[in-house]
């Protein structure tokens, strides 16, 4: 009797999961691809804000990719905010003689302790920026050559209050990194769909843009300073609350910011727990319903797997049926993402990533509800 009850509950959540994924796909397909208009001449001065802590291995590649943009040099400035680095990050930035590259040390401007150093770094960057459009990215990221053309043309044409752009991993070296790439491609569809539907506002600080006037209008990070992370989501939510129709997603593969996946399981789990701890800040029934459905669908499959010894052949066959159904549903989502972002090379790894995805959602999701402190950039924060 118990196995039938577990199976019925699991089937319900898997069917709900199917509906959620189809909903995401519908809104993704309704999101138009943005192309730079013919003859476009940029007129917006942009400030790229790059918070950096111990990024000596990556900071030069990041800055170089931005300096090589197909964008008017007089309309561009790069502001690197060094967050108490201990590896010579600042020294590398100081080697640039290009006047567009500016360095500020957070230690010279922050006279108090905080758990939100990245927000403090961005706040400092905003205070010294001269651009109309503020764009944040991370120090370990690479920008494609036409990135700023896509962003600025989209901004000038649509006049959004906040732009969330695509981010993807590249140069994967092992199965864990390929798993993260697949997962993140799916997240880009979810991000675009959530914004298009006005039901789920998400974004990534590695590719986020907003006018300076909007940042000031919502008082920046006022009210959310106590969270170590969330420089992206909390700000998006604040902007959406003031400007309900002002959030847009830049759907263009050529504008995808590239970064590297976490190289080992420990750093990957720490990252995802950090992201998950922000879930309690989300407001709105739609976000709770969608996140809860995905979480419970994965736990339902695991519950059926645990019950196989009591369910016999029925339990085993039903587990395989649920796993197959989820795999089919996920493939619809990821096939679309892999095609759009030109990552069909990841298709051979999709199957082996499925079980990992179930365990990841179930266990890391649970941990994010329990864990209140975690390691980030060499600091223990909440």
Nearest to 121 by CA among 231, 257, 233: 231
Highest average pLDDT, of 2-6, 162-166, 272-276, 354-358, comes from: 162-166
Query: What is the pLDDT confidence band of residue 381, given thresholds at 50, 70 and 90?
Result: low
Return the pLDDT at 367: 75
Nearest to 249 by CA among 25, 24, 28: 28
Global pTM reads 0.91
Strands 167-169, 374-376: pairing kind: unpaired
Return the pLDDT at 214: 97
Q: How far apart are CA 290 and CA 199, in angstroms?
A: 10
Strands 247-249, 162-164: pairing kind: parallel
* Averaged confidence pLDDT in the chain: 90
Q: How far apart are CA 151 and CA 46, in angstroms?
A: 10
Return the pLDDT at 284: 63
The total number of residues written for the chain in this structure? 382
Per-domain boundaries in the chain: 2-27+284-381, 33-278
Return the pLDDT at 231: 65
What angle, rounded to 10 degrees, do the helices at 175-197 and 2-30 form?
A: 70
Return the pLDDT at 1: 62
Sign of the torsion formed by the C-alpha atoms of 308, 21, 242 and 143: positive
Rounded to whole angstroms, what are the CA distances from 191 to 25, 46, 70, 199, 370? 11, 24, 27, 10, 25
pLDDT in tens, 114-123: 768 899 999 9
Rounded to whole angstroms, what are the CA distances from 352 to 47, 111, 133, 187, 261? 42, 49, 42, 19, 18
- Those residues whose C-beta lies under 8 Å from the C-beta of residue 88, and which sit 6 or more positions away, are 56
Residue 133 has pLDDT above 90, yes or no: yes
Nearest to 347 by CA among 362, 361, 337, 360: 337
Residue 131 has pLDDT above 80, yes or no: yes
pLDDT in tens, 291-350: 889 999 999 999 999 888 887 888 899 999 999 999 999 999 999 999 999 999 999 999
Residue 29 has pLDDT above 80, yes or no: yes
Nearest to 67 by CA among 100, 102, 103, 104: 100
The fourth-level CATH superfamily of domain 33-278 is Spore Coat Polysaccharide Biosynthesis Protein SpsA; Chain A (3.90.550.10)
Residue 99 has pLDDT above 70, yes or no: yes
């Amino acid at each position: 009797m118990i196995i039938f009850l577990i199976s019925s509950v699991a089937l319900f959540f898997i069917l709900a999961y199917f509906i959620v994924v189809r909903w995401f796909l519908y809104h993704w397909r309704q999101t138009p691809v943005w192309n730079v208009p013919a003859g476009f001449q940029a007129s917006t001065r942009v400030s790229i804000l790059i918070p950096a802590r111990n990024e000596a291995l990556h900071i030069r590649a990041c800055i170089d990719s931005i300096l090589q943009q197909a964008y008017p040099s007089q309309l561009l400035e790069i502001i690197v905010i060094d967050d108490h680095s201990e590896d010579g990050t600042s020294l590398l930035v100081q080697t640039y003689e290009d006047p567009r590259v500016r360095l500020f040390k957070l230690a010279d401007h922050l006279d108090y302790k905080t758990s939100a150093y990245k927000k403090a770094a961005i706040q400092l960057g905003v205070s010294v920026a001269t651009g109309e459009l503020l764009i944040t990215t991370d120090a370990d990221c690479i920008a494609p050559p036409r990135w700023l053309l896509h962003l600025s043309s989209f901004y000038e044409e649509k006049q959004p209050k906040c732009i969330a752009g695509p981010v993807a991993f590249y140069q994967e070296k092992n199965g864990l990194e390929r798993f993260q790439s697949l997962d993140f491609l799916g997240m880009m569809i979810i991000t675009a769909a959530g914004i298009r539907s006005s039901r789920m506002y998400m974004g990534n600080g590695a590719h986020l843009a907003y006018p300076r006037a909007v940042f000031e209008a919502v008082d920046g990070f006022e009210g959310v300073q106590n969270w170590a992370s969330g420089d992206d989501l909390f700000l998006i939510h604040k902007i959406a609350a003031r400007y309900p129709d002002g959030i847009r997603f830049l759907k263009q593969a050529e504008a995808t910011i590239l970064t590297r996946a976490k190289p080992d399981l420990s750093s990957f789990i720490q990252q995802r727990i950090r992201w998950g701890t922000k879930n309690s800040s989300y407001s709105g029934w739609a976000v709770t319903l969608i996140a809860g459905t995905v979480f419970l669908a994965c736990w339902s499959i695991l519950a059926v797997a645990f019950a196989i010894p009591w369910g016999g052949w029925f339990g085993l066959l039903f587990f395989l049926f649920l796993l197959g159904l989820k795999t089919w549903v996920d493939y619809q989502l990821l096939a679309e993402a892999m095609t759009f972002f030109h990552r069909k090379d990841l298709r051979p790894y999709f199957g082996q990533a499925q079980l990992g995805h179930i365990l990841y959602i179930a266990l890391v999701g649970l941990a994010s509800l329990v864990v209140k402190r975690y390691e980030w950039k060499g600091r223990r924060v909440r």
